[in-house]
Structure 1
Amino acid sequence: MNPFYSVTDKQDTRQAQRLNSTTIAVLTIYGLVVLMIFGSRLVSPSLGGISQLMNVLYLSSFLVICAFGQGLVILVRGLDLSVASMITLGGVLSTTFMQGTNEGLYFIIPGILLISALVGVISGLGVTHLSIPPFIMTMAMGLIVYSVCLGFTEGTPRGFPAPMLNAFMQNKVLGVALPILLMLVFILIFTILQSYSAFGRKLNAVGNNPDAANIAGIAVKRMTISAYAISAACSALAGVLLAAYANGATLRMGDDYLLPSIAAVVVGGSSILGGRGSFLGTVGGALLLTTLSSMLSALGVGQGWKTILEGIVILVALIMLREQIFTGLQSMLKKPN
């Protein structure tokens, strides 16, 4: 018997089991979302309908966008704590540059994303070349960006988004809001990017074992920096859309998205230690968190109790989605009667 074949076979088996566990976790998350939405009608007749579903999809679009970038950073064993500041930066720059007109719109948005990506590159360089822990580097960059926004606006962001962006956030096609359609396109494109492209496979390899990835010829530092750049750009894009949704920017507009962006990734089945992640799972986590927040707000739950209940639900979801549970269930199902 060839010993190398035995080792390879065991590795393939473990990989298949991990894939099955990830798939089950993703399906479980979406099942919880459906159960929560339609089960909420038992709590209040005004909940559980199509209108609530559309509202959840609309509100979750902002979180989905910034959570994608956070998920890539977590995938390569990092953590991006500058999300809130980058959302604020995107919102402040969009209202400042647009000044309530459509002039130059198609140049302003790419410019904002480029500026934000450069901030992410600086974070990535600090992590990879200076060996600064990711949470410290990104927290420091977040403080710097927020301080720049504070000084630039003198405490009060001015200007308004372009009318075209306002119209985009309000208009519908066949009864479906355009931001929801944008989110669906975003999910399709970036699911392919993360799970089925060479770029996504390299990120997974870096997260699984950076040393092995380096030996295999993968530019580990470059891939890590790209994850931070994409995360910063995604957060800024969410800020641009939030400013258009609220018809203005504030300095604290990103505060409600930092922890949820991390929670959505982890609840969606990704490993906080890196090397395993699914964007579809992250989307499910974002939908779950948004659904829960929407339900509690509709029921008039105070902010304190709302935060407590959200924390409990996240904790329960994480316990339910532990890989050991799925492995145990698979073992039980395989046992002969």
Structure 2
Amino acid sequence: MTLHWSCQCQDGKARAGTLHTAHGDVATPVFMPVGTAGTVKGMTADAVRATGANIVLGNTYHLMLRPGAERVGRLGGLHKMMDWHGPILTDSGGFQVMSLSQLRKLDKDGVTFQSHINGEKFRLTPERSIEIQHLLDADITMCFDECTPFPATHEVAGKSMRLSMDWAARSRAAFVARPGYGLFGIQQGSVFEDLRAESARALTEIGFEGYAIGGLAVGEGQAEMFRTLDFSVPMLPETHPRYLMGVGTPSDLIGAVMRGVDMFDCVIPTRSGRTGRAYTSHGVVNIRNARHAEDTGSLDPECDCPACTRHSLGYLQHLFKAGEMLGPILLTWHNIRYYQRLMARLRQAILDGRLAEEAAALEAGWRKPEETPV
């Protein structure tokens, strides 16, 4: 049986379900830590597992450049290479079509990249993207698409979306179906309802194991993202998993779950951890702030990660001030664990039929005046 998703419970638009893959089941809603180059930065695979995460991401573009997809294949695939026994989702490289616009040439067949590492030229087409993801042994392969930049006119967004739909059909044709593996289509159309609807119809007609909402969290702001999700998510099949790509903050996750999204990824928790920014039950904490220098208390008394149970705020601040690598490691661990705990709380609240109350309680905790973000 190919990769599939089953729904256990619904609370409003929010769903609690299970994603069934070749490398195990995943409870949804789920947040997937980003391991762009075959590693979640600063974390061993055991450490990532200890946070409660059981699915991670890899990236087609970056692994294509280094060490190379064929080499990853010869090393046993991404699961074996990075010691990750659970499911892996791979981004198709489509985001880099947008983010590396100065280093690429786009045409209807694909994209020619100039490597940001050494200037070497690479060609990425829908067929090659799917081939690379197959070599990586991704449980979830993403269609190759063009992530539409923001802002974009209706004309530009429409042209970009239709190119992505052509590439989606080619990605589907190139994908090799295997038990427990699946291909996700990506809805595009920027913030325009008619374009999102056209994209959803095209993807549904092609048929995929899951459906992603792409082209958001690219500068439009939370209010506009939520407005777009309000009409975009219901356009996608209720029987399949829905994945909001590249999102986001804890507040973003809550709002999107309440709008029917099941899957998320984002670099925010890992990148923030490396720079001394921690997400906690009482709000955002900047560990570099001088007020923490002699604080013997815990970063987050509600958290069970090593940063919170074994070390004081004062010690964590010292690590960052001293430039010790343990500081970013501990805060990355904490942030990923916080996100996993957050998703578990949201899932349980859906199962209990009290998601609105749980969301209000979480957001109220972030606003406690004595813990104002710094």
- TM normalised by structure 2 equals 0.25
**Greater relative CO, 1 or 2 (CA 8 Å, sep 6+):** 1
Say which structure is richer in helix.
1
- TM normalised by structure 1 equals 0.27
Say which structure is richer in strand.
2
